[in-house]
Chains A and B, each alone.
Chain A
Amino acid sequence: MSANVDTTLPLEYQTEQNRLNILGFWIFLGAEIILFATLFGVYGVLYERYAGGPTHKDIFVIKDVMIQTLLLLTSSFTMGLAIFEMRLHNLKRLITWLIITLVLGAGFLFMEINEFIHYVHEGATMQTSAFLSSLFVLLGTHGAHVTLGIGWAIMVIIQLAKRGLTPVTARKTFIIGLYWHFLDVVWIFIFTFVYLKGLVG
C-alpha cells in the first residue's frame, strides 16, 4: 500500500504494490498451470475416442504446426529482448520489440485460425467426436489466451507511449512478459503431447 520507492531494485519491483502484484501474478500463473493441466488430462483421456470420425493422422499438417511453433517461440524470445531493453531503460527499443512480439503472435493466431478452418473443411468439427472436442477446446483455450495477451499488450504499449517508463508501466510490461512466456511453455507441451504424439503414436 505504501508508496515507498526502493530505487536499488529493478523498476518493476520498486514499490510495495508492484511486488504484491508480481507475486499475485505468479500465483495466478499457478492457477493457470492447473487449468491447462486439467485440459491436458481431459485430452489424455479422450484422445483415442474418434467415434468413427477423423484421427490425428487424418487432420494434422506438420508443416503448418512447425511454422506456428517457430512464430510463437520467436515471439517469446523477442519478448525477452523487450524486457531486457526495459531494464536498460530504453523505451523506444522496448516498444519496438513489443510490437514485433505482437506481430509474431498475430501470425501465430492467423495460422491457428487457418488450421481450424482446415479441420472443419476436412469434416472434423468439435461436435464430431470426443477426441476432436478435447482437441479444439485445448487448442482454443490456448489461442484465446494468446488473443487476450495481444489485446492486453496493446493496452500496455499505449500506456508506455503515453507515460514512459515508470514503476507502474514497468510492472505492467514485466507481467505481460511473464504471461507471454507462460503461453509459450504451454505451447511446447501442446506441440509435444498433441502434435508429435499424435503423428508418431
Chain B
Amino acid sequence: MMGIKWNELLITGDPLILGSQIAILLTMIGIVGGITYLKKWRWLWSEWLTTVDHKRIGIMYIIAAVLMFFRGGIDGLMMKAQTARPEMEFLNAQHYNEVFTTHGVIMILFMAMPLLIGIMNVIIPLQIGARDVAFPQLNALSFWLFFSGAMLFNISFVIGGSPDAGWTSYFPLAGKEFSPSIANNYYAIALQIAGIGTLISGINFVVTILKMRTKGMTLMKMPMFTWTSFIASVIIVAAFPILTVALALMTTDRLYGTHFFTVSGGGMDMLWANLFWLWGHPEVYILILPAFGIYSEIFATFSRKSLFGYKSMIFSIVAIAILSMVVWVHHFYTMGSGPAVNSIFSITTMAIAVPTGIKIFNWLFTMRKGRIKMTTPMLWALAFIPCFIIGGVTGVMLGMGAADFQYHNTLFLVAHFHYTIIPGVVFAVFAALYYWWPKMFGFMLNEKIGKWHFWLFVIGFNVTFMPMFFLGLDGAVRRSYTYSVESGFAPLFLLSAIGSAVLALGFAAFCYNIYWSARYADRNISSDPWDARTLEWSTASPVQFYNFAKQPEVTTLDPFWHMKKKNEGLTLKDSEIEEIHMPSNSGLPIFMGAVFSVAGFFLVFEWHIAAVVAAVGIIAGLIIRSFDYDEGYHVKKDEIKKIESTWRNVEGEVHNDVS
C-alpha cells in the first residue's frame, strides 16, 4: 500500500495518550513474557483459547468485560475530573468528545452486554440441566467476535484516533462531511463485528432454552433468570439486525460516498436516529431483563421463599419486551414529529412503568414473610430497588413528551439513564458475581471486602449522579466539556466528581476482593453454599466439564430446593452413569476472530485491497467449518465415576458458612 500516511498513524502530542501507549506496550510485553516464563502457552491454548465449554467461554466474557469496565471507568473519571471545576483545562474539547464517546460505547456494548452474556453463558445451561449450549462452537465464535470488536475499538485512541461523535453517533456529524478522519470508521466497523457475535449468541440461547431443557422442565417451570435471558435473546434476534443494517449504511456512507444520512445528495439524518434507536431502545432491555432475572433468583434464595407472582413476572417481561420495540421515538421527541406521534410514544413509554412496577412489587412480596439474609449478593439486590425506583420515576417524567422538551439532552437525562443502568445492570452483575462465584471457581468472594465494595460503590454512585438531576434542571447540558463560573454549576459538579472518586474506590475494593479471595479463600466449600433453589447448585463447584453426570429430572419450580426438602435425586448410583458425548475444542473461532480484527482494521483505514485479502481468511474459515466432520468425543464411565466421587464424598465435612 503506497498511500499510507505513516506519520498520522499513531496518535501523538497528548501526554495522557502517550502514557497509555507506553502502558499498553509494557503490559503486553509483561503478559507475553509472563506466560512464556511460566510455560503456560500450551495450557492457555488448549484449555481456554480453543475451548467450546460454555462455562469457560462465560468466564472469558466476564474477564474481558471487567477489563472494559476498567477502561470505560477511566474515561468516566476523566470526564468527572474535567468538569470538577468550571473552565478546567485538564482535557480539551476534542479529547473530551472522544472520551465521552468511548465511555458510552464501551460501557454499553463492551462492558454491560458481555458481562450479562458471560453470566448467561455460565449459568443458563446449568439452570436448565443441560450439558452445553445448542451450538458450542458458534458460542466460542460469538465470544471471539465480541473480543475482536472490543479490541479493534480500543486501539482507536492510540492508532488512528478515537471516535468522537457520541455513542449515538448522530448524522450528519458522524459522516465524512463533518468528521473526515477515520476515527468514526472504528465505531462503524468494531461495533459491526461485535454485533454479529451478539446476534449469534442470541440465536444460540433461543435454541438452547427452547430445546435443551432437562426432562420435566416445562416453560412454566423454568427459573426466572432463564426466562428473562430467553426473552432478552429473542430481543437480540429481533433488534440486532437493525444495528447491522444501520452500521453497514454508515460504513458505505463513510467509505464509499453513498447518501443515506448525509446533508447533500438527498440523504436523511433523521433516518440514522430512527434506525439507531430502533435497535438502541430494545438494547437497553436486552441489558435490563437478564439483570431482572438475576435479582429474582437472589431475592428468592436469600428470603428462603419462592418468587412471588411467577406468572405475572413472566407476563411483565413479555410485556416489557413488546413495549421496548415501540418506544424508540421518545429519544427524539424534539425532532418535530408532531404532537400526535409524540403523544403515542409518550403513552407507550409510560406504559412500560406498569409491568416494571409489577416486578418491583413482586420482589417486595417475595421478601415479605421471608427470612432475609444480608449477604453481599442480597445487599446489591436490596440497594437496587430504591435506586432503580429513582431511575424509573425520572424515566416516566422523561417519557412525558411535553416535559421532555425541558429535560432533553441535559444532565437530567444523563442522571436518569445512569440511575437505571447502574442499579439495573451493574448492581445485578456484581450481585451475580458474588452469588455465582463459587459455582464458577470453587471458592467464595470475601464477604467483608464485599461489603466495603458495596457501600463505597452505592454511596459513590448516588453522590455522583444525584447532583446531575439538579444540574440538568438548572440548564446544564450533556457532552459539554466545560461550563462558566457564572453558571453556578460548580458546587454540584464538584460533589459529583467527589462521588465518582468514591465509586472508583468501590471498584478497587472489588478488584482487591478478587485478588484476596483467589489467594486466601477457603477451597473446601459446599457445592451449595447459599442453600439455593435452582439446578446449578445441584452439581459440583467448580462445575465439572460435563455439568451433570446424570441430567436431573424436574417436577416443580425451584427444583433443587424441593429435591433437598424431599431428599430425592441428590445421590448418584453407579448404575445411572452413562457415557457422555462432548464436543471437541476448536481453534477455528479464535482464528475467525483474528481475521475479523485484521480485515476490520484495514477497512477502518480504508485500505480496501488489504481488507479484501484479509476477508479471504473469513471465507477460508467458513469453508473449513463446512468440511469439519469432527463429532466430538465420549467421556468414559470410569472417568465420570472418578470425578463424581471426588466432590460427592466430601459433602458433610465442608465449610458451609457464609459470613
Which A residues contact B (CB, under 8 angstroms)?
Answer: 1-3, 19-21, 23-24, 27-28, 30-32, 34-35, 38-39, 42, 45-46, 49-51, 126-131, 133-134, 136-137, 151-152, 155-156, 159, 168, 172
Given contact pairs A24-B135, A27-B206, A155-B623, A51 touches B237 in the complex (Cβ within 8 A): no
B275 at interface by CB-CB < 8 Å: yes
Nearest B residue to A19, CB-CB: B211
Shortest Cβ distance from B290 into chain A, in angstroms? 18
Main secondary structure of the interface of B (DSSP, over half): helix
B612 interface contact, C-beta 8 A:
no
| Whole-angstrom CA separation of A20 from B133 in the bound complex | 10
Tell me which of B143-151, B259-267, B521-529 binds A. B259-267
Question: Out of A32, A35, A155, which one reaches B627, CB within 8 Å?
Answer: A155
Q: Is the CB of A20 within 8 A of B252?
A: no
Docked Cα-Cα span, A129 to B265, in Å, equals 5
Stretch at the interface among B83-91, B240-248, B349-357, B498-506: B240-248
Smallest beta-carbon distance B255→chain A, Å: 11
Q: Is B249 an interface residue (CB 8 A)?
A: yes
Footprint of A on B, CB under 8 Å? 131-132, 134-135, 199, 202-204, 206-207, 210-212, 237-242, 244-246, 248-249, 252-253, 256-260, 264-268, 271, 275, 278, 581-583, 619, 623, 626-627, 629, 631-632
CB within 8 Å for A131 and B245 given contacts A38-B275, A152-B626, A159-B627: no
Distance from A149 Cβ to chain B, minimum over Cβ atoms (Å): 13
A127-B259, A129-B265 in contact; A137/B249 too (CB < 8 A)?
Answer: yes
Chain B: CB-nearest residue to A169: B629
**Which partner residue on chain A sits nearest B275 by CB separation?**
A38
The answer to whether residues A27 and B207 also contact, given A46-B266, A127-B265, A159-B626 and a CB cut-off of 8 A, is yes
Q: Pick the contact of B258 from A30, A137, A151, A159 — CB < 8 Å?
A: A137
Whether B259 and A133, one on each chain, are in contact in the complex, defined by CB atoms closer than 8 angstroms, is: yes
Residues of B within 8 A of A27 (CB): 203, 206-207, 237
Nearest B-chain residue to A33, judged by Cβ: B241
Tell me the smallest distance from the CB of B611 to a CB of chain A, in Å.
15
B266 touches A131 (CB 8 A): yes
14 A-B residue pairs with CB within 8 Å:
A3-B581, A24-B134, A24-B207, A31-B203, A32-B241, A34-B238, A42-B245, A45-B271, A49-B267, A130-B260, A130-B265, A133-B253, A133-B260, A137-B249
A168 and chain B: residue at smallest CB distance? B629
Beyond contacts A50-B266, A133-B265, A137-B248: 9 other A-B pairs, Cβ-Cβ < 8 A, are A23-B210, A27-B207, A39-B245, A45-B268, A51-B259, A128-B259, A129-B259, A133-B253, A155-B626
Closest to B578 in A: A2
Q: Are A38 and B207 in contact (CB under 8 A)?
A: no
> What separation, in Å, do the CA atoms of A172 and B622 have in the docked complex?
14
Contact B266 A129 (CB under 8 A): yes
Q: Which A-chain residue is minimally distant from B619 (CB atoms)?
A: A151
Q: A residues within 8 A CB of B258?
A: 126-127, 133, 136-137
The answer to whether B203 and A24 have CB atoms under 8 Å apart is yes
- Inside 8 A of B267's CB, which chain A residues have their CB? 46, 49, 130, 133
Q: Which of B204, B240, B266, B619 gathers the greatest number of chain A CB atoms within 10 Å?
A: B266
